[in-house]
Amino acid sequence: MPHPLSLLQQRHSVPSRQLGAPAPEGDVLEALLATAIRVPDHGKLVPFRLILLRGDAKLAFGAKLAALSLRVNPDMPESKREKDRTRYDFAPLVVAVIAHLDPSSSVPVIEQQLSAGCVAYNLLLGSEALGFGAQWLTGWAAYHREVADLLGLGEHEQVIGFVHIGTAQIDVPDRDRPAVNDLVSVWAP
């Protein structure tokens, strides 16, 4: 029997450019999304929502981002232009995780953002558990108002990340991880 923590111990991101078809679909996708939203949610605010980008719509979204990137930074080197042009070409599914914030709530905005961040992380874990690969990306597009408008976000909404999901096209080695003893201390009065 595998160790109860083996999924967490083995979790790693697969670079979005190394993701191809298939991605979760139908009942499998529905189960992944339903599981992803089972997160800590102080005040039961449900401070998140998901936007699925697939097929031609995903490619059109990527093209619009590439055009916006070039307009904002016309002196961008060709290598960066190419990266922006093809960013959404690989993974067959991209889930935009949106923080749907209520600034009038007694629950601090940071807790609402963290709840939405947990949704993104659950998408990574769930994808791995189902045998898919995934990568959580942000980049400039997650913080740009025109991108928020393109996605139809409201005034109190923000992109937490774009989770690219598909099937790993190569074996991706794990990266070096920090030693837990370098990060943990015990507080004492």
Per-residue pLDDT tens, the chain, 189 aa: give them: 889 999 999 999 999 999 999 999 999 999 999 999 999 999 999 999 999 999 999 999 999 999 999 999 999 999 988 898 899 999 999 999 999 999 999 999 999 999 999 999 999 999 999 999 999 999 999 999 999 999 999 999 999 999 999 999 999 998 999 999 999 999 999
Q: How many residues does the chain have?
A: 189
Q: From residue 69, how far is each of 7, 63, 101, 141, 155 by CA, in Å?
A: 37, 10, 26, 8, 22
Q: What is the pLDDT of residue 84?
A: 87
d(CA 112, CA 101): 6
d(CA 157, CA 49): 9
Name which CATH class applies to 12-171.
Answer: alpha beta
In whole angstroms, give the CA distance from residue 115 to residue 183: 23
Beta-bridge partners for 99: 48, 158
Q: For the chain, which residues make up each domain, given as ranges?
A: 12-171
**The pLDDT of residue 170:** 94
Tell me 103's DSSP state.
Answer: T
What pLDDT does 81 receive? Answer: 84
In this predicted structure, what is the pLDDT of residue 46? 98
pLDDT number for residue 2: 87
User: For residue 174, with 0-12 CB atoms within 10 Å meaning exposed, 13-18 middle and 19 or more buried, which class applies?
Assistant: exposed
- pTM of the entire predicted model: 0.96
Helix (H, G, I), strand (E, B) or coil at 134: strand
